[in-house]
Amino acid sequence: MNAKEYVAGLFDLTGHVGIVTGASRGLGLGQAKVLTDAGATVYNFSRSPHTEEEKIEGKLIDVLCDVTDYAAFEAELKRIIEKEGRLDFLVNNCGVTYKARAEEYPEEKIDQVLNVNLKTPLMLSRICYPYLKESEYAGRIVTISSMAAYMGFSGVLPYDMSKSGVLGLTRGLAEEWKNDNILVNSVAPGWFLTRLNAGMFEKNPDRKEAALGKPMLRRFGDPKEIGYMVLFLLSGASRYITGCDFPVDGGATAHGF
């Protein structure tokens, strides 16, 4: 076997079946593109389908579902199991935020942010658990955390709290399921240019300039660059890694002054 074949084999996900929540656009779609290119069949659990211009025929399958409706999620998952006969990975990508100072933050928004960003990854992981532990490749769970797990950001305190909690969720699940054939990790994105924040930066160039000053590499990430880390954590190259968080932030969390 030559080097090219060896590397390709490590990262080949042909035959793997899994879920990426919120893979209709942005970082989730970037991850789905990488995983499908590596051969995986990816089910996109989202309230909206991925757009026609981003269509990935055959390998990215839309499941229209509110991921906070756990009964609906479980029903759809059972249909996937009936069809595919397996589940190898779950990527908890969905997340929400709301901007307000701590003393003014509406209680219902606090509940929403903590529910979507922290409770839901736990609940979906629990629902997927009996199938993931049967994976011939070792079941994998990857949850998208954030630099907000390491750094304070003004005006989004519940988001900061929820993403810090993802690190605890990752370590706790990894410990509890260490003997159950499941590896659990998380990935912390930095600043990425998506359609969502491109409009914001267009209206506020100063904010864009400030964001570009954070990473050591002085550029925004491409959504596929999150996908490459997720691919690594789902691949045979990461069989001895669990309970860890991996910043993909261009050096932002390590940047001094």
Out of 6-20, 39-53, 222-236, least confident range: 39-53
Single-letter code of the amino acid located at 99: K
Region of residue 26 (phi > 0: left; psi between -120 and 50: alpha; otherwise: beta): left
Query: pLDDT tens, 142-156?
Result: 999 999 999 988 999
- Name the residue with higher pLDDT: 40 or 54: 40
β-strands 245-248, 182-189 pairing: parallel
Superfamily of domain 3-251: NAD(P)-binding Rossmann-like Domain (3.40.50.720)
- Quick one: which of 44, 49, 137, 140 has its CA closest to 94? 44
Q: How far apart are CA 132 and CA 109, in angstroms?
A: 32
CB atoms inside a 10 Å sphere around CB 6: 9
Cut 0.85: pTM above it: yes
Q: What is the mean pLDDT of the chain?
A: 92
Q: How far apart are CA 148 and CA 208, in angstroms?
A: 18
Instruction: Please tell me what DSSP assigns to residue 112.
Output: H
pLDDT at site 206:
80
DSSP H helical segments within 85-219, as ranges? 107-114, 120-132, 157-176, 195-203, 205-212
Region of residue 200 (phi > 0: left; psi between -120 and 50: alpha; otherwise: beta): alpha
Give the active site residues: 159
Instruction: Give the residue carrying structure tokens 């400030």.
Output: 210
pLDDT at site 54:
56
Instruction: Specify the DSSP element, H or E, that contains 17.
Output: strand 17-21
Paired with 189 in beta bridges are: 248
Give the residue extent of every domain in the chain.
Answer: 3-251
